[in-house]
Amino acid sequence: NACVFLTQISRTFIAVKPDGVQRKLVGEIVRRFEKKGFKLVGLKLLQASEDLLREHYWDLRSKPFFSRLVTYMSSGPVVAMVWQGLDVVKTARKMLGETNPADSLPGTIRGDYCVEVGRNVIHGSDSVASAQKEISLWFCQNELQCWENSSSHWIYN
């Protein structure tokens, strides 16, 4: 069954933010995750509501930038994705780079495409628990696909 997880196989939530969509970086970001060997199990383009974003960023509600973040994230379409694979949360965070692009290494998404922390192109879950919460917030169960990846035996031992 394609939906049965090995113990280290997990899912993460990745969102290309409005600046990433406007700058036409969606295809490049999807390409990087596919080439890494992760399996795409959910993807949608949507205009996120302020209510959804307030809930998503609830932990940041006391920060002075919270309202600007919600306004920015609701200013244009977002591409929401769910990726599956071995240690996908940890690896995806490394692929994204640091929250502040100035601290991100070349070769990371933020290191290659971002200049300012307020326009850092992409969001990725920071833990398995956050990933589960964010996936359930952005996707209904029937929007996540279970499919057999024919190349998985070339990726996993």
Binding-site positions: 17, 65, 93, 99, 110, 120
Beta strands 78-86 and 39-46: pairing type? antiparallel
Separation between Cα atoms, residue 83 and residue 131, nearest integer Å: 10
Separation between Cα atoms, residue 146 and residue 80, nearest integer Å: 17
Residue 56 among the catalytic residues: no
* Bind-site residues for ATP: 17, 65, 93, 99, 110, 120
Q: Which residues contact 24 (CB under 8 A, 6 or more apart)?
A: none
Q: At what angle do helices 88-96 and 128-138 cross, to 10 degrees?
A: 80
Exactly one of 11, 32, 39, 123 is catalytic; name it. Answer: 123
Cβ atoms 15, 53 nearer than 8 A: no
Q: Would you please indicate which residues are annotated as catalytic (active-site) residues? A: 123
